[in-house]
């Protein structure tokens, strides 16, 4: 099973709402990632978790709060977002190994902030 | 800082044609290079991964090559089909510098195969 699942597929939220994005994988990967992708642009890395610990934060605003409750789950908590945060949010996972690191991506959550 | 460039930005070909997509990167300190496919509004599908010690990888009608010393990779698609229409992204996993352990993506090539 090489599947990464993400829920919800679509999310519309107001600027005062609090919502969460969820990502799950059952490949035994110990690294998980959040990316943000704007239209006609490549994905931009936001956060990396390695062995359930935050290892990289690409200077993401605090209105985005990641959480990795266990080795299979990754959440992204959203609060007080701005319209410019509307984008496709992609989750990915990989092994933690210098010989591999192949990243597997989920289908994404399309977020619209109104 | 690693920079990845993909040429051409867009390509339109008739069905059945063989085609080549190009990717270049500025820093040869990489662990691997991945080619992805992305359909509109969808996630990324990994097509091929080439480790830094490898020269090429093949999967079906796809063949990817890597010349790490010159900072180049190509994705060859044989006998193209309308179902191959998508955006193709090249990404390198950095082995050094401030981008260590991170994927750096190119801007992508938008491929259209018309019947």
Q: Express each pLDDT in B85-100 by its tens digit.
A: 999 999 999 887 777 7
Q: Are A80 and A94 in contact (CB under 8 A)?
A: no
Q: What confidence score (pLDDT) does residue A23 get?
A: 98
Which has the minimum average pLDDT: A58-62, A100-104, B69-73, B102-106?
A: A100-104
Per-residue pLDDT at A1 exceeds 90? no
Q: Nearest Cβ partner of A103 from B34, B51, B108?
A: B34
* Rounded mean pLDDT, B30-59: 94
Residue B41 — very low, low, confident or very high, per pLDDT cuts 50/70/90? confident
**What percent of chain A has a predicted confidence (pLDDT) above 90?**
86
Q: What confidence score (pLDDT) does residue B102 get?
A: 87
Of A88, A75, A71, whose CA–CA distance to A11 is shortest?
Answer: A88
More confident residue, B25 or A2: B25
* Rounded mean pLDDT, B53-59: 95
Q: What confidence score (pLDDT) does residue B94 get?
A: 87
Per-residue pLDDT at B51 exceeds 70? yes
Which tokens is A95 given? 């092994």
Phi, psi of B112 (to 5 degrees): -125, 125
CA distance B43 to A91: 9
Selected residues 12-51 of chain A with any CB under 8 Å from a CB in chain B = 41-43, 45, 48
Per-residue pLDDT at A98 exceeds 70? no
CA distance A2 to A93: 10
Question: For all residues of chain A together, what is the average pLDDT?
Answer: 93
Q: What confidence score (pLDDT) does residue A96 get?
A: 84
* Rounded mean pLDDT, A24-29: 94
Q: How far is CA B16 from CA A89, A91, B83, B85, B90, in A?
A: 34, 34, 12, 13, 23
CA distance B27 to B80: 31
Question: For all residues of chain B together, what is the average pLDDT?
Answer: 94
Q: Nearest Cβ partner of A103 from B42, B103, B107?
A: B103
Burial class (CB in 10 A: 0-12, 13-18, 19+), B59: exposed
Which tokens is B109 given? 């090539």
- Residue A59 carries which DSSP code? S
Contacts of B42 in chain A (CB under 8 A): 107-108
């Amino acid at each position: 099973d090489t599947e990464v699942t993400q829920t919800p597929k679509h999310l519309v939220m107001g600027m005062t709402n609090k919502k969460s994005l969820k990502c799950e994988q059952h490949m035994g990967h110990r690294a998980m990632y959040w990316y943000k992708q704007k239209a006609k642009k490549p994905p931009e890395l936001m956060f990396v978790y390695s062995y359930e610990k935050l290892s990289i934060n690409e200077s993401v605003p605090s209105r985005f709060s990641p959480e990795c409750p266990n080795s299979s789950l990754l959440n992204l908590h959203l609060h007080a977002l701005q319209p410019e945060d509307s984008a496709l949010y992609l989750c990915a996972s990989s092994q933690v190994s210098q010989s591999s690191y192949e990243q597997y991506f989920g289908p994404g959550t399309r977020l619209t902030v109104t | 800082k690693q920079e990845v460039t993909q040429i051409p930005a867009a390509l339109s070909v008739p069905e059945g044609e063989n085609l080549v997509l190009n990717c270049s990167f500025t820093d040869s300190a990489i662990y691997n290079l991945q080619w992805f496919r992305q359909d509109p509004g969808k996630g990324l599908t990994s097509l091929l991964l080439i480790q830094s010690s490898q020269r090429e990888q093949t999967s079906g009608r796809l063949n990817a090559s890597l010349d790490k010393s010159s900072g180049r990779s190509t994705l060859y698609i044989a006998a193209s089909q309308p179902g191959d229409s998508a955006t193709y992204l090249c990404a390198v996993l950095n082995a050094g510098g401030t981008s260590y352990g991170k994927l750096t993506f190119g801007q992508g090539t938008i491929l259209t195969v018309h019947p």
